[in-house]
Amino acid sequence: MARGLVARADALAQRLLRVLLSSALAAGLLMCAHHARSAPPIDVGEAIFRDGIAGDGQPVEATHQGQVAMRGATAACVNCHRRSGLGSKEGNTTIPPIAAQYLFHPPAQSPDELTIPFIDGVRTSREPYTEATLARAIREGIDSEGKPLGYLMPQFALDDADMHALIDYLKTLDRRRAPGVTDTVLHFATIITPDADPVKRHGMLDVLEHYFADKNAAPLGATPALRSSRKMMFMVNRRWELHVWELHGAPDTWQAQLREHLARQPVFAVLSGLGGRNWGPVHDFCEREQVPCLFPNVEVPVESEHDFYSMYFSRGVLLEAELIAKRIREPSSSSSGRPVKTVIQVYRAGDSGEAAAQALAADLTKQGVAVENRALPVNARVTTALHGAAHADALVLWLRPPDIAVLGDAPPASTTVYLSGLMGGLDRAPLSSRWRDSVRIAYPVDLPQGRRVRVDYAFGWFAIRHIPVVDERVQADTYLACGLLAETLSHMVDAFVRDYLVERIDDMLEHRILTGYYPRLTLAPGQRFASKGGYIVRFAQADPLRVVADSDWIVP
């Protein structure tokens, strides 16, 4: 857990350190020239806002009390005001929005008089900024009313060209109508790839369709407009509409299909979804089109530290590979008690286990462990891949339940066996009794006794609505994704901005009590996987149907 917590702590520390930006950038980052001018391209403004890089390629500098306090990335606006420009909230500290409609709005004596969506931190009664007062706020720390901003406020050294570029970029954040949002409807899509498991597909859609039906049948859904308790802002309770985008054919055609779907019906976000081995084209599409993709059910998610719009509950089998690698690297991880020197991996060619096996092999090879990958063709019997496995120190099986059920009577006596929990069915893997005594399972979720309370509400909801439980984890994850979306939208009031949706989920997730299969969920800038670790488990000797932890919670 250390790496994820440290990354989040660093991100929060940077943002809190720059709370001093809260008033000044609200005052100054939108200086708007009404006279004709020659401005740099919009990407210069984006680089200043997101990366702290000026038009000449040099780091932006901000000074405090005559000294350089921040430089480059640490001085970027995005650290405090976020990608959306709508600010954030850290504890009791509120970072105000800096989109044009919030900086230039006329004074309002009460929130009731606002004609813009409510955002935490918006100042309703202050004098609107002009070009001159915005420039003064950025460079001198004086607000629109001539009052000094907070003493921690840095002053930014931006020349006129960079200022104009930044302004032009910030204007693009001021979008009054998000795609997929109408006065009465919020449109969402769920995406299903051709290689998705048909049983899981049925289970996921059953949950989504019932959740949307419940949401639209709620008493508030029939009310055209209600006053929100959040600062008495008018809030329309829109109907949710689900669009199922089923993909067909080869993966290199999926993005074209998705573009057609999006052109035909714009959506505010992609919710849940189901993939097989290859989710990459869908992930890339959502990043390119800037559409939030919220917690799809995939075993091989895409890893990229620079992506923003795709969120996953877990790294799937890639996390399992790291859990197994960490265990194998332990000095006494083999059944003989000696360090592991040789490993055999078995998987079906083209299945999710292939990507996991490649990741594990790359990790272990760096440690001097000899790894042999055995890829089974579609019709080959799994037992043929076990020939000679007794000579290896460890055997790793990336197999589905039908292959697990025909493994044979007993594993090699001198070999430690690891099994993919996600692919094999977690604690319901159909292992014979003799295999159960030897196998260790990579388990990237909480133990059954730990997650029971957190999933009981979902399963009770399924029972009341007569939803057949065909895949517990997929259906529980889908229900959790729906709940997170509903909770986040309720806090967003009418500020329907895609980037803001992602940011609000980032902020709210760690406070969620009902986290389904996962003991804890957290996200932060640069983190797209909400659950960071897992266990290595074994079957209990006294109760071979129950798994127990064979390790502490591991965060690779």
Give residue-wise pLDDT tens across range 190-222: 999 999 999 999 999 999 999 999 999 976 444
Task: Give residue 542's pLDDT.
Answer: 75
pLDDT greater at residue 350 or residue 408: 350
Average pLDDT over residues 437-451: 95
| Lowest-pLDDT range of 66-75, 200-209, 421-430, 476-485 | 66-75
Average pLDDT over residues 375-404: 93
Task: Give residue 110's pLDDT.
Answer: 67
| Residue 439, strand partner residues | 417
Average pLDDT over residues 398-405: 96
Task: Give residue 28's pLDDT.
Answer: 38
Task: Give residue 333's pLDDT.
Answer: 61
| Lowest-pLDDT range of 122-136, 174-188, 380-394 | 122-136
Average pLDDT over residues 470-494: 95
C-alpha–C-alpha distance, residues 259 and 19, integer Å: 40
pLDDT beyond 60 at 427: yes
Closest CA relative to residue 203, chosen from 455, 475, 428: 475
Closest CA relative to residue 210, chosen from 505, 475, 516: 475
Q: Where are the domains of the chain?
A: 10-171, 185-313+449-525, 318-443+536-549
Task: Give residue 380's pLDDT.
Answer: 92
Task: Give residue 246's pLDDT.
Answer: 98
Q: Which fold has domain 185-313+449-525?
A: Rossmann fold (3.40.50)
pLDDT greater at residue 125 or residue 54: 54
Task: Give residue 112's pLDDT.
Answer: 66
C-alpha–C-alpha distance, residues 325 and 337, integer Å: 16
Model confidence at 332, pLDDT cuts 50, 70, 90, reads: low
The per-residue pLDDT of the chain, averaged, comes to: 86
pLDDT greater at residue 462 or residue 124: 462
Beta strand extents in 236-297 (DSSP E only):
239-246, 269-271, 293-294
Task: Give residue 4's pLDDT.
Answer: 45
Task: Give residue 248's pLDDT.
Answer: 98
Average pLDDT over residues 386-406: 94
Task: Give residue 30's pLDDT.
Answer: 34
Q: Taking the model in full, what pTM does it have?
A: 0.88
Task: Give residue 439's pLDDT.
Answer: 94
**CA distance to 181, 263, 532, per residue, from 186 (Å):** 5, 16, 31
- Do the first three CATH levels of 185-313+449-525 and 318-443+536-549 match, i.e. the same topology? yes
In terms of CATH, what superfamily is 318-443+536-549? Answer: Response regulator (3.40.50.2300)
Q: Residues 11-47: pLDDT tens digits? A: 444 444 443 333 333 333 333 333 333 444 569 999 9
> In this structure, which amino acid lies at residue 468?
P
| Lowest-pLDDT range of 255-259, 294-298, 540-544 | 540-544
pLDDT greater at residue 341 or residue 77: 341
Closest CA relative to residue 524, chosen from 81, 9, 97: 9
Task: Give residue 67's pLDDT.
Answer: 79
Task: Give residue 105's pLDDT.
Answer: 83
Task: Give residue 92's pLDDT.
Answer: 73
pLDDT beyond 70 at 334: no
Q: Are 118 and 231 in contact (CB under 8 A)?
A: yes
| Lowest-pLDDT range of 46-60, 161-175, 388-402 | 161-175
Task: Give residue 166's pLDDT.
Answer: 85
In Å, how far from its chain's centre is CA 93? 24
Task: Pick the most confident of 154-158, 296-300, 411-415.
Answer: 296-300
pLDDT beyond 90 at 135: no
pLDDT greater at residue 225 or residue 395: 395
Q: Torsion over CA of 517, 291, 282 and 309, rounded to 10 degrees?
A: -50
Task: Give residue 453's pLDDT.
Answer: 94
Strand order in the sheet with 394-398: 370-376, 342-348, 394-398, 416-420, 439-443, 535-539, 547-549
Average pLDDT over residues 445-473: 97
pLDDT beyond 80 at 513: yes
Task: Give residue 231's pLDDT.
Answer: 41
Paired tokens of 314? 């877990």
Task: Give residue 176's pLDDT.
Answer: 67
pLDDT greater at residue 504 or residue 111: 504
Task: Give residue 337's pLDDT.
Answer: 65
